[in-house]
Structure 1
Amino acid sequence: MAPIAPPDTSYRPPAADAVLHDWFRRGHDLDPGAEALRIGTSRYTYREVRDLALALAGDVVAACPERPRRIGLLASRSAQAYAGVLAAGYAGATVVPLHPDFPVERTRSMMTEAGIDALIVDTAGRRVVPHLADLLDGVPVVQEPVGQPLDAPLPVSPDDVAYILFTSGSTGRPKGVPVRHRNVDAYLRFVHDRYRFGPDDVFSQTFDLTFDLAMFDLFAAWGSGGTLVSVPPHAYASFRSFVENHGITVWFSSPSVIGLLRRLGELAPGTLPGLRWSLFCGEPLLGRDAGDWQAAAPFSSTENLYGPTELTISCSVHRWDPETTPERCLNGVVPIGTMHPGMRYVLLDAEGNPTVESGELCVTGDQMFPGYLQAEDDRGRFVEHAGERWYRTGDLVRPLDGGEDGALAYIGRCDHQVKIRGVRVELAEVEWGLRRCEGVEEAVVVVVRDELFAFVKGAPRTTAELVGELGRFLPRAIIPRRFHQIDEFPLNANRKTDRRELSRRASVIVESG
């Protein structure tokens, strides 16, 4: 297993207080003619990506009566999409990524809340524009560069907002998360210092631009002078060949990809020898999955990254060790590890008091965002402690090994800790129990009408068989009463298990009898 990269004396980060596109400039300055982006059979050099971004920015600036503040990017996996992230910054504005395949109503909601001054679209985004006509009255739409490119990026401040992303809100209305250049710069300095990526590295790009993990893909690659490879959905069916043919050395995705590849027969031991780093984030990483991936990529270091969008991509990390990590897994889930430099945490119990045992994880530090776009969304999401403001993640964690090394184990979401007939239940614990049952590959448990409902994937098992086996290691009060066999778990746009959809399905099944 590859060690953490040693210090590289040739590594030079951008100057202090860099803004997001300064990290692209670092890669460009290393070699403007190097390959920056690969989409299918199309190849783009750093110079070509920069020129396209300056051209798009020039058209936006020319079309706006005043300097734009926020630029929507309605595009997906095209040169226009990737260059559009830079173009917004070059225009001195904030980029607001939008997905052409999202429901139009959701896109309209995000555009309205963000208050965009201009919109960049690609071919896919262009098809959605007619459905947004009323919102785009007076808002210029840039499709292909036609005017004079900017000579150079317009100035922006580290305290300006680099991008606005939207997370799901409890009310159903997406919540806008503005992240400052200063927040992303602190994150990227940690990333590049830890991994010491270089111009020879080739990076996967699996996340949609509306998901903050995509910012890792882009600026980890471009900040090192490496190559970014867009991974299309069909690539997973011939995954080994895709990774080998493209020479990918850095893989980054949600953990759900591991189960998919296992089912497709693409994760046999030793099949991914070219990977140098394997990084997972976005949902809990199971120890079984991490072990299988490590066996498939024996020369790679495998790490579990954790962090909500509000804390800028990820804020803690645990490196998988086949000898020690399995015994540190809680409910079969890999620890979320230790906080990044510049980030600190405190745990709060159910009454909101600090605790050294398990509790809700609250974090503060250089990567914490300033607050939601709508001030009312801040209510209940921050806590004042020791004279500082801390973000409440909504995640339950506990210190490992008495907290000696600062490592944390993930328990589950606070809203996944429920009471069933007066008994407190951690859904993650029930799912862990189900995964221990013979033939069960994966399980997700939801609550319907004050009862536990389990979706199970794997070999067919009867309810009586599962209840009997679960009874050997779970209290009877927390054993689900209903089980439903499922061939594949639904995934959302970022390839994370869609629990909301599973809850909907469970309700339909219960109501239908």
Structure 2
Amino acid sequence: MEISHALYSRFQRGLSVSPGRAAFRAGADTATYAQADLLARRWAGALLHGGPRRPTAIGVLAAKGTASYVGILAGLYTGIPVVPLSPDFPAERTRRMVEAAGVQAVIVDPQGRAVADELNAGGARLRVLDPAADRVDDATALAAPMPVAPSDTAYVLFTSGSTGRPKGVPITHANTAHYFRYLDARFDFSPDDVFSQTFDLTFDCAMFDLFCAWGAGATAVSVPVTVYRDVPGFIAEHGITVWFSTPNAIQLVRRTGRLSPSALPGLRWSLFAGEALKEADATDWLRAAPGSTLENLYGPTELTITIAAHRWDPAASPGMCVNGLSPIGTVNDGHDHLLIGPDGEPVPEEGELWISGPQATPGYLDPRDEQGRFVPRDGRTWYNTGDRVRRAPNGELVYLGRADSQVQVQGWRVELTEVDHALRTLPGITDAATVAAENDGGLQLVVFYTGTFQRPAELASRLTRTLPAGLVPRLYVHLEEFPLNYNRKIDRTQLRKHALERIGARG
């Protein structure tokens, strides 16, 4: 019997309409819905019956492929929280995640097995299920997924913590049930769609890729990093109709010279999240994919994947942008939001975004991480996103930047996104990222930019035409391309390290 609130019910729905269709493709790895279901029930049975006790959490330690995609499904079938893990992460970081989430069993591929063996050598005591090497007894296969309660945790993901310790975010079946019901009403996905699967499985947007596709009986296609040399060719080869990635992908395609008009004719939906979407990028992508509807999706992991959306309108959206950044739109149905001013009280037009509603996680694995993020007010718990937004005249929200991206330099209050925008308007500048770094001389602004190399004095001179003198940075670093993290987002932590090195070298 299908349990409609369970996250795995999305796959069960796809199985009922598309049993013979490919549920996923990842290079040479593929499986139909029927094949993936059978494997998942076998692996789930092995996890439940293959040890002395029932695991409290199940890790999936594998690169994109059968082991990871079916592994996530198998973990959900057990009714036990699933913890996606990356074999590319440092073993010490993975060990911290395993301990924090209480992972006692892992599903691995060959690369993941090497990491698991290293963890066990260090005393982790993980049960390891390696489908490529271990015999799975069909006699223990589940006849159907195990029942779960709405309040049960479906999966646990980790976000970076200010202390360097990853923060565990448990997402419940109730959280995902509300979210995917909202998406079903918003989008017209069908079994004929083919979804890109660009995000690392440790990133929450990967759950959108998989469970939107699986809920429609469609196919999810893994997008390897090498594809960014020819995204239009890959999309055409695989018949992709739904593209979802970070906005940085737009710049990568542009850099290859393949973001030409109508280069992406097969796309129906173009979706972006994970970073601020720039007006110029949205315009260029839609010119390349004129048959698609473009949406800018926004949301932290703590609010279940995405919590707001703006449907781009070529006529109206550019006029709503601030500092060249797209609106993030309206908050998902069923949620309330507040804009909080510097005094901690609600304000009507511009402030820090707080949200309350059914997509909010119950809290971090470690309650010590909740200070300042989960805030009781008026008998409810609000999640403080840490993002500053402005309310547009039509009521939609416009992203201004992180609250901590507003810094004070020599008495000037500086919005780093404003500096970025001013730089991007200069001739020869492709993109810019400004960071603040502090040494004995105080806080300094350091600009990293791509495009044509220009003399720092010339850049500073041009910026004085649009920025007050106190906001004009003194240090400029030209890059061929920005460093990216594993989710193809600009690695600002790395940029800040480079900035400190540069300031130290100058001092």
- TM-score by shorter chain over 0.5: yes
Does 1:153 find its partner at 2:145?
Answer: yes
Report how far residue 224 of structure 1 moved.
Answer: 0.1
Match of 2:335 in 1: 343
Instruction: Please identify, of 77-86 and 142-151, the stretch whose mean Cα deviation from structure 2 is larger.
Output: 142-151
Say whether 1:294 aligns with 2:286: yes
Return the alpha-carbon distance in structure 2 between the equivalents of residues 356 and 147 of structure 1. 61
Gaps of 5+ in 1: 1-13
Q: Match for 2:297 among 302, 305, 327?
A: 305
Residue segments in structure 2 that go unaligned for 5+ positions in a row = none
Say whether residues 1:96 and 2:83 are aligned partners. yes
Report how far residue 498 of structure 1 moved.
0.5
For residue 273 of structure 1, report the CA deviation from its aligned partner. 0.4
Q: How does 1:477-492 map to 2 (within 5 A)?
A: 477-492=470-485
On the 8 A contact 2:75/2:82 being kept in 1, the answer is yes
**SS at structure 1 position matched to 2:328:** coil
Q: How far apart are 1:247 and its partner, in Å?
A: 0.3
CA RMSD after TM alignment: 1.3
Equivalent residue number for residue 43 of structure 2? 56
Tell me the amino acid that sits aligned with residue 391 of structure 1: Y
Deviates more, 1:342-351 or 1:64-73: 64-73
Q: Deviations over 1:9-32 (max 9, x none)?
A: xxxxx9885110000000000121
Secondary structure at the counterpart of residue 185 of structure 2: helix
* Structure 2 CA distance for aligned equivalents of residues 221 and 131 of structure 1: 35
Q: How does 1:32-431 map to 2 (within 5 A)?
A: 32-134=19-121, 138-144=125-131, 146-148=136-138, 149-401=141-393, 405-431=394-420
Please tell me the residue identity of whatever aligns with 1:280: F
1:502 aligned to which of 480, 495, 505: 495
1: CA distance between counterparts of 2:166 and 2:389? 26
The 3-state SS of whatever aligns with 1:355 is coil
Q: Secondary structure at the match of 1:133?
A: helix
1:246-304 alpha-carbon deviations (Å, 9 max, x no partner): 00000000001000110011211100000000000001000000000000000000010
Q: How far apart are the structure 1 equivalents of 2:124 and 2:116?
A: 11
Structure-2 separation of matches of 1:456 and 1:437? 11
TM-score (norm 2): 0.96
Distance 2:375 2:351 in 1: 14
User: 2:192, 2:123 → 1: CA distance?
Assistant: 43
Amino acid of the structure 2 residue aligned with 1:410? Y
Give the secondary-structure state (helix, strand or coil) at the position aligned to 2:413. Answer: strand
For these two proteins, the number of residue pairs brought into alignment is: 497
Equivalent residues of 2:450, 2:480 under 8 A apart = yes
Q: Equivalent residue of 1:20, what SS?
A: coil
- Measured after TM superposition, the shift of residue 69 of structure 1 is 2.4
Task: Report the equivalent of 1:9.
Answer: none
Contact 1:68 1:91 survives alignment (8 Å): no
**Paired AA for residue 206 in structure 1:** T
Point out the more displaced range, 252-261 or 43-52. Answer: 43-52
How far off is 1:385 after superposition? 2.4
Q: Give 1:42 shift.
A: 3.7
Looking at structure 2, the residues matched to 254 and 288 of structure 1 have their Cα atoms a distance apart, in angstroms, of: 15
Q: CA deviation at 1:137?
A: 5.1
Per the TM alignment, residue 386 of structure 1 is displaced from its structure 2 partner at its CA by 2.6
The whole-number CA distance in structure 2 between the counterparts of 1:253 and 1:195 is 17
**Normalising by the residue count of structure 1, what TM-score does the alignment of the two structures yield?**
0.95
Separation (CA, whole Å) in 2 of partners of 1:94 and 1:412: 33
Structure 1 contact 307–315 (Cα < 8 Å) conserved: yes
